[in-house]
Amino acid sequence: MLGAFLIISSVVRVNAQKSEIFAPEGKAINGYDVVAFFKEGKPVMGSDNLAYTYMDVKWLFSSNSNMAAFKVDPKHYMPQYGGFCAYGTAEGHKAPTKPDTWTIVNDKLYFNYNLKVKDAWTKDQMALIEKADKNWPDLKDKQ
């Protein structure tokens, strides 16, 4: 009985850890290069040949230099709220995102569900970031 409980607990814990990052098909941010948002100012698709696993998720990059930068300081380049929708996080739930909804605020990367949600988020950005920051610790391990 104890053995079954330990197995179930470890499976639940692994799934919860994986859900902290928005990673459809195991690729963070749908395979987009998170460093490129900072360096190139636009969404750039990463390559399966330039992959690095961090937090049990595959991060793809468009160049060796971007991958190297991420390896040195992944927390700097990782999107806030694991890449889930910033507006949704402020509202108390996780929502998927699209790469064209990105924004960098105070040197942090944020995504939103779609462009309409991004517009709403932009209108009250600082207050919503404050709410999302408070909500994220309780949301990050939830499915």
User: What backbone phi and psi angles, to 5 degrees, belong to 75?
Assistant: -65, -30
Lowest-confidence range among 3-12, 39-48, 59-68, 122-131? 3-12
Average pLDDT over residues 57-81: 98
- Global pTM? 0.86
Q: 93 and 70 in one domain?
A: no
Q: 94 and 70 in one domain?
A: no
What are the start-end ranges of the H helices in 1-143? 2-18, 34-39, 64-72, 74-77, 86-91, 115-123, 125-139
**Within-domain flag for 11:** no
Question: Given 37, 56, 78, which residue is the final one in a domain?
Answer: 78
Domain of 60? 24-78
pLDDT value of position 143? 75
Average pLDDT over residues 36-44: 98
Q: 74 and 102 in one domain?
A: no
Residue type, 76: H
**Within-domain flag for 95:** yes
36 pLDDT band (50/70/90 cuts)? very high
115 pLDDT band (50/70/90 cuts)? very high
Q: 84 and 114 in one domain?
A: yes
pLDDT value of position 14? 35
Domain count, the chain: 2
Could you tell me the two tokens for 6? 């330990």
Q: Residue 123, exposed/middle/buried by CB under 10 A (0-12, 13-18, 19+)?
A: exposed
Q: What residues have CB less than 8 Å from 2, skipping those under 6 apart?
A: none
**Within-domain flag for 9:** no
Per-residue pLDDT tens for 45-57? Answer: 999 999 999 999 9
Q: 64 and 84 in one domain?
A: no
12 pLDDT band (50/70/90 cuts)? very low
pLDDT value of position 142? 85
**Within-domain flag for 138:** yes
| Residues facing residue 104 across a β-bridge | 109
